[in-house]
Amino acid sequence: MDTDPTPETPLLSNVAFDDLEVGRRYGPYTERVGARLADSLRERIGEPSSGTVAPPAVFPVLFLKALRRAMGGIPSGSILAKQELEFYAPVRVDSDVEVSAWVGEKYVRRDRPYAVIEFDVRRDDGELALTGRKVIVWPEAER
Protein backbone atom coordinates (compact mmCIF):
# COMPACT_ATOMS: atom_id res chain seq x y z
CA MET A 1 0.00 0.00 0.00
CA ASP A 2 1.44 3.37 -1.04
CA THR A 3 -0.61 5.77 1.05
CA ASP A 4 0.90 8.72 2.89
CA PRO A 5 1.32 7.57 6.51
CA THR A 6 1.17 11.17 7.74
CA PRO A 7 -1.89 12.76 6.15
CA GLU A 8 -1.98 15.32 8.98
CA THR A 9 1.39 16.78 7.89
CA PRO A 10 0.77 19.90 5.80
CA LEU A 11 2.06 19.92 2.24
CA LEU A 12 3.81 23.28 2.68
CA SER A 13 5.46 25.02 5.62
CA ASN A 14 6.89 28.44 6.44
CA VAL A 15 10.02 27.40 8.33
CA ALA A 16 12.28 30.43 8.58
CA PHE A 17 15.88 30.12 7.41
CA ASP A 18 17.08 31.60 10.71
CA ASP A 19 15.27 28.82 12.60
CA LEU A 20 17.24 26.05 10.86
CA GLU A 21 19.80 24.49 13.21
CA VAL A 22 22.89 22.99 11.57
CA GLY A 23 23.32 19.44 12.84
CA ARG A 24 19.74 19.04 14.04
CA ARG A 25 18.52 15.54 13.16
CA TYR A 26 14.99 14.56 12.27
CA GLY A 27 13.59 11.05 12.27
CA PRO A 28 14.15 8.33 11.59
CA TYR A 29 10.85 8.11 9.76
CA THR A 30 9.58 4.73 8.62
CA GLU A 31 8.51 4.68 5.00
CA ARG A 32 7.16 1.81 2.95
CA VAL A 33 8.77 1.20 -0.43
CA GLY A 34 5.60 -0.05 -2.09
CA ALA A 35 5.32 -1.82 -5.43
CA ARG A 36 3.01 0.79 -6.94
CA LEU A 37 5.49 3.62 -6.30
CA ALA A 38 8.55 1.58 -7.34
CA ASP A 39 6.92 0.20 -10.47
CA SER A 40 5.68 3.64 -11.55
CA LEU A 41 9.25 5.01 -11.40
CA ARG A 42 11.08 2.04 -12.92
CA GLU A 43 10.56 2.79 -16.62
CA ARG A 44 9.22 5.63 -18.73
CA ILE A 45 6.46 7.73 -17.19
CA GLY A 46 3.11 6.11 -17.82
CA GLU A 47 4.64 2.70 -18.48
CA PRO A 48 4.90 0.91 -15.11
CA SER A 49 7.12 -2.14 -14.94
CA SER A 50 7.28 -4.59 -12.05
CA GLY A 51 10.47 -5.53 -10.24
CA THR A 52 11.79 -6.63 -6.87
CA VAL A 53 14.34 -3.85 -6.21
CA ALA A 54 13.49 -0.17 -5.79
CA PRO A 55 14.72 1.94 -8.73
CA PRO A 56 16.86 5.04 -8.03
CA ALA A 57 13.93 7.41 -8.66
CA VAL A 58 12.20 6.15 -5.49
CA PHE A 59 14.74 7.82 -3.21
CA PRO A 60 14.04 11.48 -4.04
CA VAL A 61 10.38 10.72 -3.24
CA LEU A 62 11.40 9.25 0.14
CA PHE A 63 13.58 12.31 0.80
CA LEU A 64 10.65 14.65 0.10
CA LYS A 65 8.44 12.66 2.46
CA ALA A 66 11.09 12.89 5.19
CA LEU A 67 11.61 16.62 4.55
CA ARG A 68 7.88 17.17 4.75
CA ARG A 69 7.69 15.33 8.06
CA ALA A 70 10.79 17.06 9.46
CA MET A 71 9.80 20.61 8.51
CA GLY A 72 6.04 20.31 8.91
CA GLY A 73 5.70 20.53 5.12
CA ILE A 74 7.90 21.35 2.15
CA PRO A 75 9.23 24.92 2.60
CA SER A 76 6.86 27.09 0.59
CA GLY A 77 8.69 28.95 -2.18
CA SER A 78 11.87 26.89 -1.92
CA ILE A 79 13.87 25.89 -4.99
CA LEU A 80 15.87 22.68 -5.36
CA ALA A 81 19.31 23.82 -6.58
CA LYS A 82 21.17 20.51 -6.45
CA GLN A 83 20.63 16.91 -5.44
CA GLU A 84 23.18 14.14 -4.91
CA LEU A 85 22.62 10.45 -4.15
CA GLU A 86 25.15 7.81 -3.09
CA PHE A 87 23.98 4.20 -3.29
CA TYR A 88 25.31 1.48 -0.98
CA ALA A 89 22.83 -1.42 -0.92
CA PRO A 90 19.65 -2.30 -2.83
CA VAL A 91 16.24 -1.89 -1.22
CA ARG A 92 13.61 -4.52 -1.86
CA VAL A 93 10.14 -3.54 -2.99
CA ASP A 94 7.44 -3.97 -0.33
CA SER A 95 9.89 -3.40 2.52
CA ASP A 96 10.16 -0.65 5.11
CA VAL A 97 13.07 1.77 5.31
CA GLU A 98 14.12 4.30 7.94
CA VAL A 99 14.82 7.78 6.60
CA SER A 100 16.71 10.33 8.69
CA ALA A 101 17.31 13.96 7.74
CA TRP A 102 19.45 16.74 9.12
CA VAL A 103 20.55 20.25 8.31
CA GLY A 104 24.13 19.79 7.13
CA GLU A 105 24.92 23.39 6.35
CA LYS A 106 23.34 26.77 5.72
CA TYR A 107 24.83 29.82 4.05
CA VAL A 108 24.00 32.96 2.12
CA ARG A 109 25.35 33.48 -1.40
CA ARG A 110 24.50 36.51 -3.54
CA ASP A 111 21.98 37.56 -0.89
CA ARG A 112 20.08 34.24 -1.22
CA PRO A 113 19.79 31.80 1.70
CA TYR A 114 20.76 28.18 1.02
CA ALA A 115 20.28 25.11 3.19
CA VAL A 116 21.91 21.74 2.66
CA ILE A 117 19.57 19.02 3.88
CA GLU A 118 21.23 15.62 4.22
CA PHE A 119 19.52 12.24 4.34
CA ASP A 120 20.24 8.61 4.90
CA VAL A 121 18.10 5.58 4.20
CA ARG A 122 18.50 2.33 6.11
CA ARG A 123 16.96 -0.94 5.06
CA ASP A 124 14.76 -2.95 7.40
CA ASP A 125 17.86 -5.00 8.40
CA GLY A 126 19.62 -1.76 9.46
CA GLU A 127 22.09 -1.70 6.56
CA LEU A 128 22.81 1.70 5.04
CA ALA A 129 21.19 1.76 1.60
CA LEU A 130 21.73 5.33 0.52
CA THR A 131 22.87 8.80 1.54
CA GLY A 132 21.98 12.01 -0.16
CA ARG A 133 21.84 15.75 0.06
CA LYS A 134 19.65 18.46 -1.34
CA VAL A 135 20.83 22.02 -1.71
CA ILE A 136 17.77 24.19 -1.34
CA VAL A 137 17.41 27.88 -2.06
CA TRP A 138 15.39 28.81 1.00
CA PRO A 139 12.45 31.21 0.77
CA GLU A 140 13.46 34.75 1.68
CA ALA A 141 10.12 35.97 3.02
CA GLU A 142 10.91 35.05 6.64
CA ARG A 143 14.53 36.25 6.70
Q: What pLDDT digit, counting tens, does each position of 47-77 carry?
A: 778 899 999 999 999 999 999 999 988 888 9
Does residue 109 surpass a pLDDT of 60?
A: yes
Q: Do residues 138 and 78 touch, judged by C-beta distance below 8 A? A: yes
Alpha-carbon distance of 104 to 91, in angstroms, equals: 25
pLDDT value at residue 142: 40
The CATH number assigned to the domain holding 127 equals 3.10.129.10
Q: Is position 87 within any domain?
A: yes
User: Residue 62 has what DSSP assignment?
Assistant: H
Alpha-carbon distance of 98 to 119, in angstroms, equals: 10
Q: Is position 38 within any domain?
A: yes
CB-based contacts of 44-51 (< 8 A; 24+ apart in sequence): 51/93
Q: Is position 21 within any domain?
A: yes
Q: Is position 4 within any domain?
A: no
Domain that holds residue 99: 13-137
pLDDT value at residue 13: 85
Q: Is position 7 within any domain?
A: no
Q: Do residues 101 and 118 touch, judged by C-beta distance below 8 A? A: yes
pTM for this predicted structure: 0.85
Structurally, the chain folds into a number of domains equal to: 1
62-66, 104-108, 137-141: segment of lowest average pLDDT: 137-141
